Amino acid sequence: AQTVTQSQPEMSVQEAETVTLSCTYDTSESDYYLFWYKQPPSRQMILVIRQEAYKQQNATENRFSVNFQKAAKSFSLKISDSQLGDAAMYFCAYRRGNTPLVFGKGTRLSVIA
Amino acid sequence: DAGVTQSPTHLIKTRGQQVTLRCSPKSGHDTVSWYQQALGQGPQFIFQYYEEEERQRGNFPDRFSGHQFPNYSSELNVNALLLGDSALYLCASSLGHVETQYFGPGTRLLVL
């Protein structure tokens, strides 16, 4: 079974600085999708960014970018120019084809003003 | 464009009772997946509905059942509630069962 590991239970960053959240996964498949979801205290899980494994180019969405290392099975999220509204739980997730999402345990990000 | 909605937002039940949670998918979406998120954990997949049928199921007992209606909305039913069923229940919708899932705000269930 596929597993997703987030080794940092908590992280903190100064406002306007950059932070990187780590994620590793285990799979024997070559074609799959990886996601980062954000869950603020309001509880709603919000899609931050998505990466297709067949694409070598790292996905970017405004201040959010990923470092996808397929051979190392690593998928880290970089948040640039951190804002107070970025404070939340961040979940890394894996999916292959039509199988359900498999989530990591999450990283709690605090942003210090 | 309406996003995924869920009702109720909070619910308190006692052991042995039954509960029904509801989900309306994002406009244009036809697939609904349900997840259980225990405190401090990532969401765990319960099941997925597509074309009014349960297409996939996670490792949850038969006490967890569901339904999808012709308008694509869905219900999650849990019978014989246990204390361990206390969790946040998330509904996610997608267009087809391979596309990106978008989540609703969740229903917080507390079983006493």
Please write the tens of the pLDDT for every residue from B54-102: 999 999 999 999 999 999 999 999 999 999 999 999 999 998 877 789 9
- How large is the average pLDDT for residues B36-62? 94
pLDDT for the residue numbered B66:
97
Q: B36 to chain A: nearest residue by CA?
A: A103
Does residue A43 have a pLDDT over 90?
no
Contacts of A31 by beta carbon, 8 Å cutoff, 6+ apart:
A53, A54, A96, A97
pLDDT band at A56 (very low <50, low <70, confident <90, very high): confident
Residue B1: band (very low, low, confident or very high) from pLDDT cuts 50, 70, 90: low
Is the Cβ of B7 closer than 8 Å to some Cβ of chain A? Answer: no
What pLDDT does residue B96 have? 81
Q: What tokens appear for A18 in the block? A: 């950059």
Is B74 within 8 Å of B67 (Cβ atoms)? yes
Residues of B in contact with A45 (CB under 8 A): 43, 90, 92, 103, 106
pLDDT score recorded for residue A104: 96
How much is the average pLDDT of B21-35? 95
User: Do B88 and A104 lie within an 8 Å CB cutoff?
Assistant: no
Tell me if residue B83 falls in helix, strand or coil: helix
Place of tokens 């997608």: B94
pLDDT confidence of residue B99? 78
Closest CA of chain B from A47, distance in Å = 7
Mutant choice from B51, B54, B89, B98 vs A, greatest count of A C-beta within 10 A: B98
Q: Is A106's CB within 8 Å of B42's CB? A: yes
pLDDT mean across residues, chain B: 94
Q: Residue B51 has what DSSP assignment?
A: T
Q: Which pLDDT belongs to residue A97?
A: 81
**3-class SS letters over chain A:** CCEEECCCCEEEEECCCCEEECCEEECCCCCCEEEEEEECCCCCCEEEEEEECCCCCCCEECCEEEEEECCCCEEEEEECCCCHHHCEEEEEEEECCCCCCEECCCEEEEEEC
**Of B58, B98, B102, which has the smallest distance from its Cβ to A47's Cβ?**
B102
Q: Which two tokens stand for residue B67?
A: 């339904």
Q: Residues of B67-81 as b/e, b for ≥16 C-beta within 10 angstroms?
A: ebeeebbbbbebeeb
Mean pLDDT of A33-61: 92
Q: For position B74, what pLDDT does the model report?
A: 97
Please give the residue of chain A at the shortest CA–CA distance from B96. A98
**Which tens digits make up the pLDDT trace of B52-62?**
999 999 999 99
Q: Which tokens sit at A77?
A: 């999220």
Q: CA of B91: how far to CAs of B7, B15, B31, in Å?
A: 10, 23, 10
